[in-house]
Chains A and B, each alone.
Chain A
Amino acid sequence: GESVGLHLPTLSVQEGDNSIINCAYSNSASDYFIWYKQESGKGPQFIIDIRSNMDKRQGQRVTVLLNKTVKHLSLQIAATQPGDSAVYFCAENLAGSYQLTFGKGTKLSVIP
């Protein structure tokens, strides 16, 4: 039969604006979370991580927010640039496991 591909949510932002990408994670026992960026033809690239004992962490132009109450993770990108165009994945790690569980991804398109 015909395979159905993932219909990735798409976020289009104007260059210079701020972007917010959201992710709902699945397991309340997960204690570590990572955001990855994947450009076409490349493997996922680590952006920023956060542990469950924190609710906010900042990097260079990026901020990750964690809301454990509603199992929600967000990635904020300040002053979005054309080079930020990619698919962004959140991933969670269950304490004591040795695997990451990935979200479906969000495609970010930056309009010059």
Chain B
Amino acid sequence: KAGVTQTPRYLIKTRGQQVTLSCSPISGHRSVSWYQQTPGQGLQFLFEYFSETQRNKGNFPGRFSGRQFSNSRSEMNVSTLELGDSALYLCASSRRQETQYFGPGTRLLVL
């Protein structure tokens, strides 16, 4: 069974731009979560979606948003990029509530 896939793997943007990242969960998994990983803050929860509904949201500004489609694929968007948004963005999927399986991440560099 294929794992979680994320596209693109690497991205370079400039301040003020916006970016959309994509995640395809493991087949049969309906929950998708997003995390931001930085050297300074570690792994931090962004939001979680199940059946196209956001069930939980972390402590991030409104510039960070997401959505989930009927096929469980998910996208996250960051608008008005700041230098501090440079990070590895990780997507995880799960069938049950707890056990989350991660993709390889999208490394975003904001210049």
Partners in one complex: yes
8 Å CB interface, A22-46 against B: 32, 34, 36, 41-46
B71 on the A face (CB < 8 A): no
Partner of B104, one of A3, A6, A32, A42: A42
Cα distance A49–B101 in the bound complex, in angstroms: 12
| Residue tally, chain A, CB below 8 Å to B | 25
B42→A6 contact, CB < 8 A: yes
Q: How far is the CB of B78 from chain A (nearest CB, A)?
A: 18
- Which residues on the A side are within 8 Å of B99 (C-beta)? 34, 46, 49
Cα distance A76–B70 in the bound complex, in angstroms: 41
A32→B98 contact, CB < 8 A: yes
> Closest residue to B50 on the A side, CB-wise?
A98
Chain B residues near A (Cβ < 8 Å)? 4, 31, 33, 35, 39-45, 48, 50, 55-56, 58, 90, 92, 97-105
A99→B39 contact, CB < 8 A: no
Q: How far is the CB of A6 from chain B (nearest CB, A)?
A: 6
B90→A5 contact, CB < 8 A: no
Q: Is the interface of B mostly helix, strand, loop or mixed?
A: strand
A53 on the B face (CB < 8 A): no
- Which residues on the B side are within 8 Å of A105 (C-beta)? 42
Number of A-B contacts (CB under 8 A): 63
A89 on the B face (CB < 8 A): yes
A43→B90 contact, CB < 8 A: yes
- Which residues on the A side are within 8 Å of B97 (C-beta)? 93, 98
A43→B104 contact, CB < 8 A: yes
A60 on the B face (CB < 8 A): no
Cα distance A101–B100 in the bound complex, in angstroms: 12
A104 on the B face (CB < 8 A): yes
Partner of B100, one of A4, A6, A100: A100
B39→A44 contact, CB < 8 A: no
Complex A-B: 20 CB contacts under 8 Å: A4-B40, A5-B39, A6-B40, A34-B100, A42-B104, A44-B90, A44-B102, A46-B99, A93-B98, A98-B31, A98-B33, A98-B50, A98-B97, A99-B33, A99-B45, A100-B33, A100-B45, A102-B35, A102-B43, A105-B42
